[in-house]
Structure 1
Amino acid sequence: MIRASAPNKLILCGEHYVVYGAPAISIPTDSRNTVELEETNSDEIVLETNFGNGSISKDGEFSGQKVIECLHAVHKYVFSKSKNKKFTGFKAKFHHSGAPKGMGNSASAAAAFSVALCKLYGIKADKKFLFDATQAGEEISHGGLPSGIDAATVVEGRPQIFEKKFNPTKCVMKSVNLVLPHGTCFLVVDTFKNARDTTADQIQKFAVANKIEKPPDKLTSAIRNALFVEYEHIYKGVLAELKPNGNGARLGDLLNKNHELLRAAGVSTYEIEDARNIAICKNAYGAKLTGAGGRGGALLVYCKIRAAKSIVKGLSLGGFRSFETRIGTEGPKLEI
């Protein structure tokens, strides 16, 4: 058996804007998705996940639920790089970390799967290889070429400042050491009720709200830059406060302002706003959606450590599951 895992991620600021070239800050978390590969005597690959099942035939054809088709893309990429191209039948069982939508579950699962497949096919993979393999899956999950911020954060296993450059298109990533101001913490809230929107749907909704009719790489730099003028001031402020002696109240205010921009773009929901109001009423410094948003999206709450218990209780009474999360320190890895 081969077992591999990879971290989830949280975007502190910059979701959606990052697709158009704005800088974003993302962190890996201490929660991890895991996959177990066990070889079989069959001529197919069986995929079992918490979100659906599927299979890949010896001819490389995928069948199953669309939500996990991204795993087919990961296998296709890794297998194409193997030297002998010898197909191996196996069962892949994925174990979900419990992290809600918005915490990079698709990138985490893809990265863990990539590591396990490299072991299976005898490939010595560096971080660039794992990033590309993860992005292959993310392109299916996102309904188009994604920014790469999820894949970069998960694969590096360290906080990232991420920017997407154009003409030619490339991703610029910088690992940084980020620390929350003394006495503060993050909570993650799962706002799922009865339905989930896809990341692709939210990317399209953001584009429509901003009257964008072309892919990011087809826009002029002037149009792209105009999209995130207001956001860029927020980004600089957030980065300045992520230090031990940072101002928690100011950091919370900046996160609130980032959320207001995203809400105006139509990617928040009634549930996200409800959970956010509960957190703010319980004395959180700030709260914003994290990730693509939409139905079932995650909410990031920033608060004093001593206020966390009261906020979690209030959210629970409101019907929301929440938990404290820490900045992770490891990228994808083999467990056995």
Structure 2
Amino acid sequence: MNGNTIKASAPGNLFFFGEHAAVYGRPAICAAVDRRTYVELAERNDSKILVYSDSFGSGSAQISETGLSNKSFKAPELSTTFDFIDMLAAKFKMARGFELKIRSEVPVNSGMSSSTALLSAIFKAVSGFEGQNIPAEKYFDYLYPIQVKVHGGHASGSEIISSALGGFNKVHKIEAESKTNLKFKHLGVHKFSIIVGNTKVSSPTSLTVGYHIPSLIARNKTFVFSVFDKIAAISEKAEALLTKNDEAKLGKLINKNQELLSSLGLSHPKLDDCIDEARKAGALGAKLSGSGWGGIMFALTKREDAEKVLRAIQTTGADAFKTEVGGSGVL
């Protein structure tokens, strides 16, 4: 190795409103969180790629003319990392190898967009390593194809905006002539009191986004899309309330969004347990975030009730923590 080292990080994400509906062209509102994924890239003096993950061990590959060859890793979770580097190696015509160290604060398979945080951080480091000055607004074009693969053939791409740009954003996927674009609108800075509960029930997004919802649509498209339209209406109402920082009414919309997601079979007994306890402890609103079927939920609280809500969620056996929302994107 030589002295060329690049560090990058990107945040996880919360869906305040609109997950799942966003995959099918409805608007969503999401926000970056203060839990991040960190990568450190160090140049090698050969064409090998070595990856070291705090969570999933190590792996290696060799740069070839068409991308990567001789991929080797034990943990299946590293496949996304190597697939993405493979794509970038071909796109950037990479020749120099590197070592990549990964450390993440974002719970995996939780609905907190851990894979998108990782992809954003890797892209920042690798594109910088290759001398590509790509603005965060363009990350969607590079990350969306691999996100579709990770999510089982379907994705909204909404989380990419949170991880790349940070802040609160309204996002809307547009399909046009076989090309997918994402419209987004920054919704300002909001200092909400948010408690996240991690059920510790692993919930890969591919199970709900790639399997469950498509199967529901195949059998009852009219019902599913009517629910998505109701969720879209909630997202539109929430945008107006965000400009007023009307937490009480936002909480009611959060609860309504959860009710609609539950009607699609996306909740889980442990999610319901955490949500019920949070509400009983005074949360203004509580819902799942992301894929559902486990993973995380969050509660919007008054600041004076935050500790009480946190402890209530912990009584279920879930992990609970405070998070700041709407912070920095990729760095």
TM-score (norm 2): 0.87
Q: Secondary structure at the match of 1:146?
A: coil
Q: 1:206 aligns with which of 200, 213, 222?
A: 213
Does the 8 A contact of 1:231 with 1:258 survive in 2? yes
**How far 1:292 sits from its partner (Å)?**
0.7
Match of 2:7 in 1: 3
Match of 1:331 in 2: 329
Match of 2:34 in 1: 30
Distance 1:250 1:36 in 2: 42
**How far 1:163 sits from its partner (Å)?**
1.1
Deviating beyond 6 angstroms after TM superposition, the runs of 4 or more aligned structure 1 residues are none
Count of residue pairs brought into register by the alignment: 318
Does the 8 A contact of 2:111 with 2:203 survive in 1? no
Matched, 1:55 2:60: yes
From the superposition, tell whether residues 113 and 2 of structure 1 become closer, same or farther in structure 2 (CA, over 3 Å). Answer: same
RMSD between superposed Cα atoms in Å: 2.4
Match of 1:238 in 2: 238
Q: 2:80 aligns with which of 70, 78, 97?
A: 70
The residue type equivalent to 2:213 in the other structure is F
Does the 8 A contact of 1:9 with 1:103 survive in 2? yes
From the superposition, tell whether residues 109 and 212 of structure 1 become closer, same or farther in structure 2 (CA, over 3 Å). Answer: farther
| Correspondences of 1:82-161 after superposition (within 5 Å) | 82=92, 85-99=93-107, 101-161=110-170
Match of 1:307 in 2: 305
132-141 or 275-284, which deviates more: 132-141
Does the 8 A contact of 1:111 with 1:133 survive in 2? no
Does the 8 A contact of 1:77 with 1:133 survive in 2? no
From the superposition, tell whether residues 74 and 212 of structure 1 become closer, same or farther in structure 2 (CA, over 3 Å). Answer: farther
Match of 2:269 in 1: 270
Distance 2:232 2:140 in 1: 26
From the superposition, tell whether residues 285 and 86 of structure 1 become closer, same or farther in structure 2 (CA, over 3 Å). Answer: closer
17-26 or 52-61, which deviates more: 52-61
Deviations 1:123-155 (A, max 9, x none): 222235432232243133212242110112211
Distance 1:129 1:44 in 2: 28
Q: Secondary structure at the match of 1:287?
A: strand
**How far 1:113 sits from its partner (Å)?**
0.5
Distance 1:98 1:228 in 2: 28
From the superposition, tell whether residues 306 and 162 of structure 1 become closer, same or farther in structure 2 (CA, over 3 Å). Answer: same
The residue type equivalent to 2:82 in the other structure is H
Q: Sequence identity of aligned pairs in percent?
A: 26
Q: Which runs of 5+ in 2 are unaligned?
A: none
Q: Secondary structure at the match of 2:305?
A: helix
105-114 or 310-319, which deviates more: 310-319
Does the 8 A contact of 2:39 with 2:103 survive in 1? yes
From the superposition, tell whether residues 309 and 176 of structure 1 become closer, same or farther in structure 2 (CA, over 3 Å). Answer: same
Match of 2:291 in 1: 292
From the superposition, tell whether residues 117 and 179 of structure 1 become closer, same or farther in structure 2 (CA, over 3 Å). Answer: closer
Matched, 1:228 2:234: no
Does the 8 A contact of 2:198 with 2:318 survive in 1? yes
Distance 1:294 1:88 in 2: 41
